[in-house]
Every structure is written in structure tokens, then in C-alpha cells.
């Protein structure tokens, strides 16, 4: 099997990690961190929090890995855009790391809170609120920005290089546009949220399956 075929398969696996590993991990973390009694539940569910963090960190590594693997191919079309794609993906990974540091810090805070007899102390409440606020700003505000920027560069380069059929890139552009609208409107997941967020999920899953089954366009690689 030629190197580009292996690259396509590994990139596909990294894309799928976002749905097989990251989404369950994120939902697990959020269910604990957003509980009304999170200052108690975090320490009571310490192993689950750590498991969720590991899932998010695995996704961070996959996100960076996609850009690193595609850089040698994309740079043949535009080294500047290929480099920007790596930068945006790297920033996306850093955002995940910062968010996970906040989640881990809540374990220590929760342990101290419980050890103190779960007092109604403003110090613990303020520290917890600050940690959750930091996680919100990096995951719900900064991460979508870096994801959208990286996705726009990614689909543009895919369209220009024709590594994959162009309908996948066009689908990607439409999905990113819907994602931007959904974030601007502040739409959360739900029936309405699916209209804005499902297209990009289906696109990436379809793209990953295509890479596994067919790989990159050989003529595009050769040119």
C-alpha cells in the first residue's frame, strides 16, 4: 500500500475519533460539570471526569494529527494556506487542553469543598464559577472560531486540489455556513440545533468513510 493510501486511512480514523471518542467524552463531562451540585459531584465522579478529559485530549491529538498529515499534500497547492491550516488546528487542540486543565482543577476544588464539610463558602463557589466560565469561553466561544477557520481552509484546499470529489467540498462549505449561523444565533443541540450542526457531522463522517474505502484521487496526487 502506497504512503498516500495510508495517510488517507489515518486521517479518516482521526476524523472518526471526534465522534467515537470525543462526543461521548464531552457529554460525560458536561453532565457532571453542569450538575447543580457540581462541587460535590465532581469529586464523587472523579474517574468519570478523568475519563472524559482523556477522551477530549485524544481528540485534541487527532485534530492536530489531521493537519500534520495533510500538510505535505496541501503545501503542493499552497504552502501558506497549508501552514494556516496547521496553525488553526493546533490552536483548536490547545483550546481543548486549556478546557481540560480547568476540568481537572475542579477535581481538586471539589475535594477541598467536600473535605471542608461542603460549606456554603463564597470562596469555593467563586472558584468553581470561574473555572466553569473559563471552560465555557474556550470550548463554546474560541473553539468554534478556530474550527470554522480551519474548516474553511480545509475545504478550500480540498476543492482546489481535487483530492476528493468536489461535491464533498461544496457540502462542507454549506455545512460550515450553517454552523456559523447556528453559533451566531446561539442555537444549542436539539431538534433545531440539528439543522445547523448535523450537516458538518455527516460531512466529516462521509469524508472519513470515503478516505477509508477509496482514498485520495490518484490523478490529483500525481499532479
**In the predicted model, what is the mean pLDDT of residues 37-44?**
88
**In the predicted model, what is the mean pLDDT of residues 65-77?**
94
What percentage of the chain exceeds 90 in pLDDT?
56
pLDDT at position 205 over 90: yes
- How would residue 122 be classed by pLDDT, with cut points 50, 70 and 90? low
DSSP code at position 162: T
- In terms of phi and psi (left: phi > 0; alpha: psi -120 to 50; beta: otherwise), the region of 220 is alpha
- For 9-24, b/e burial (b = at least 16 CB within 10 A) is bbbbbbbbbbeebbee
For the entire predicted model, the pTM comes to 0.90
**Cα–Cα distance for residue pair 135/116, rounded to 1 Å:** 25
Q: Residue 163 — φ and ψ, nearest 5°? A: -65, -30
**Cα–Cα distance for residue pair 54/37, rounded to 1 Å:** 23
Q: Environment class of residue 129 by beta-carbon count within 10 Å: exposed (0-12), middle (13-18) or buried (19+)?
A: exposed
Model pLDDT, residue 141: 85
List the one residue out of 171, 179, 173 whose CA is nearest residue 196: 179
**In the predicted model, what is the mean pLDDT of residues 206-218?**
93
Model pLDDT, residue 162: 92
Residue 144 grid cell: 468554534
Model pLDDT, residue 214: 93
pLDDT at position 212 over 80: yes
List the one residue out of 133, 142, 56, 146 whose CA is nearest residue 97: 56
Where would I find the H helices in 18-45?
23-33, 38-44
CA of 187: how far to CAs of 141, 179, 201, in Å?
13, 10, 16
Amino acid at each position: 500500500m502506497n504512503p498516500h493510501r495510508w495517510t488517507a486511512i489515518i486521517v479518516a480514523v482521526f476524523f472518526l475519533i471526534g465522534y467515537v471518542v470525543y462526543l461521548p467524552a464531552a457529554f460525560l463531562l458536561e453532565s457532571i460539570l453542569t450538575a447543580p451540585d457540581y462541587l460535590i459531584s465532581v469529586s464523587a465522579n472523579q474517574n468519570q471526569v478523568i475519563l472524559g478529559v482523556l477522551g477530549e485530549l485524544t481528540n485534541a491529538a487527532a485534530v492536530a494529527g489531521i493537519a500534520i498529515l495533510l500538510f505535505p499534500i496541501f503545501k503542493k497547492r499552497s504552502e501558506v494556506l497549508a501552514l494556516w491550516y496547521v496553525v488553526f488546528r493546533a490552536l483548536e487542540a490547545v483550546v481543548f487542553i486549556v478546557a481540560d486543565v480547568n476540568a481537572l482543577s475542579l477535581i481538586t476544588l471539589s475535594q477541598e469543598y467536600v473535605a471542608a464539610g461542603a460549606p456554603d463558602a463564597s470562596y469555593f463557589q467563586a472558584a468553581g464559577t470561574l473555572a466553569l466560565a473559563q471552560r465555557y469561553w474556550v470550548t463554546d466561544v474560541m473553539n468554534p472560531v478556530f474550527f470554522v477557520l480551519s474548516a474553511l481552509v480545509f475545504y478550500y484546499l480540498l476543492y482546489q486540489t481535487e483530492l476528493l470529489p468536489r461535491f464533498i467540498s461544496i457540502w462542507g462549505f454549506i455545512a460550515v455556513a450553517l454552523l456559523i449561523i447556528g453559533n451566531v444565533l446561539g442555537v444549542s443541540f436539539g431538534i433545531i440545533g440539528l439543522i445547523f450542526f448535523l450537516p458538518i457531522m455527516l460531512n466529516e463522517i462521509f469524508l472519513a468513510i470515503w478516505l477509508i474505502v477509496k482514498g485520495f484521487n490518484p490523478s490529483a496526487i500525481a499532479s
